[in-house]
Amino acid sequence: MDKLILEPSGPLRGTVEVGGAKNAALPIMAACLLTEEECVIEGVPHVTDVNTMAQILSLLGVEVAWEDGRLAIHPNHYTGWTAPHELVSLMRASICVLGPLLARHGRAKVSMPGGCIIGLRPVDLHLKGLEALGATFTIEHGYIIGRAERLRGATIHLSGPFGSSVLATGNVMMAATLADGVTIIEHAACEPEVADLANGLVEMGAKITGQGTPHIRVEGVLRLHGARHRILPDRIEAGTLMIAAAMLGGEVTVKGAISEHLGGLIDKLREANVAVESLNGSIRVRSDRRVKGVQVTTLPFPGFPTDLQAQMMAMMTMSEGVSVVTEKIYPERFTHVPELRRMGAQITREGPSAIVQGVGRLSGAPVTASDLRASAALVLAGLAADTVTELSGVEHLDRGYEQLETKLTHLGAAIRRERG
């Protein structure tokens, strides 16, 4: 297993370009199952979660190939309908093949995703939404077995105890594109990745309106065709780089970052005394003093994203004063806390909140990542520490960040990978 060796770094200076969004790419890859024709997706990041989705599509009988930085997906007349446990257990987002398989084949067998390190993560909203369209489900031997004679449009409410669901909205929207009649999704997730999926589907011939709002309307069509789609820039990668600049100091321009997608973060960084400027097609972050403690609550978009909570907490460990982080999407998403504490951070947990008393410095230590965003938080903490930090569990980072270490190195950080 690889390790990252992180040396004391900062200030960061320069310009980096953000890649395509992993969380937009995965459902759009699954959406290709809705057509027989070739789809070309541009800007797909080279990360292991994308490889896992490509493996699932290949197992179903779909041709997947990288061509000059684009992903060419040719479903032809694929006949597979099973997403096996070995792959679904690597990545819960595999669940997004469920809706397309039911819409196209009338049957699907997808391994039931278990709980994961960031919490329970049920799939009831996916099943509820697809059932409303006429699918039926049984759970057998750890698999969700779905069947549907013909899907029919319906009005579906998709809110759960922690708000709407991003991938359940995607699953229902994808299935509804080929259903008879009109589907209305109420309490739809408003995340930019859901809107990007809808835009990709529209390019394939789907009739969708309201994407990006809690009220999505899908008018079913008989068939979808091939299309070419460019994935939107990754707001979580952009946010991670912005927090790095805020925490380590300096001046960094993140090219491709869209300020409308990062409002929750920008607001909190400014409150913490960090200068954030929205330019045409990029965001510039400048920080020349110790940041101030802030209160952050994670919420569905446009609130502060749960996927930036760990990185923000890493920044708070060194801020002036007390910060409070409340996790309203995944109340157990705190695996970074004990590792940050090993580096000298003063954090106490109170239910879904963490209280962070800022310290003047973090001390380098061997630490282990156990979740994608926790790994990014530990990279930032390691660069801010006073001595070398050795980060294990880098495979989590590789699931969702394309070349984070190269980009940070380009800005002046000292990171090296030891291949294991």
Beta-carbon contacts of residue 56 (< 8 Å; ≥ 6 apart): 83, 87, 94, 97
Using CB atoms within 10 A of its CB, is residue 406 exposed (0-12), middle (13-18) or buried (19+)?
exposed
Closer residue to ligand EPZ, CB minimum distance, 9 or 306: 306
Closest separation in Å from C-beta 324 to ligand EPZ: 20
Closest separation in Å from C-beta 399 to ligand EPZ: 8
Closest separation in Å from C-beta 320 to ligand EPZ: 29
Closer residue to ligand EPZ, CB minimum distance, 119 or 321: 119
Cβ–Cβ < 8 Å for 8, 362: no
Cβ–Cβ < 8 Å for 368, 303: no
Beta-carbon contacts of residue 269 (< 8 Å; ≥ 6 apart): 242, 243, 246, 276, 285
Closer residue to ligand EPZ, CB minimum distance, 161 or 351: 161
Which backbone phi and psi does 410 adopt, to 5 degrees? -60, -30
Closer residue to ligand EPZ, CB minimum distance, 80 or 192: 192
Which stretches of 272-360 are DSSP H helices? 309-316, 336-342
Closer residue to ligand EPZ, CB minimum distance, 50 or 356: 50
Closer residue to ligand EPZ, CB minimum distance, 113 or 256: 113
Q: Which helix (H) or strand (E) holds 384?
A: helix 372-384
Which backbone phi and psi does 378 adopt, to 5 degrees? -75, -30
- Residue indicated by tokens 């930036």: 308
Using DSSP bridges, classify how beta strands 353-357 and 322-326 pair: parallel, antiparallel or unpaired. Answer: antiparallel
C-alpha torsion sign, points 320, 322, 326, 327? positive
Closest separation in Å from C-beta 222 to ligand EPZ: 29
Distance CA 396, CA 373 (A): 8
**116 an active-site residue?**
yes
Distance CA 214, CA 262 (A): 18
Closest separation in Å from C-beta 87 to ligand EPZ: 14
Closest separation in Å from C-beta 48 to ligand EPZ: 12
From the candidates 32, 39, 96, 116, give the one annotated as an active-site residue.
Answer: 116
Name the site residues for ligand EPZ (rule: CB under 6 A).
Answer: 23, 26, 92-93, 121-126, 160-162, 165-168, 189, 193, 306-307, 329-330, 372-373, 400
Catalytic positions: 116
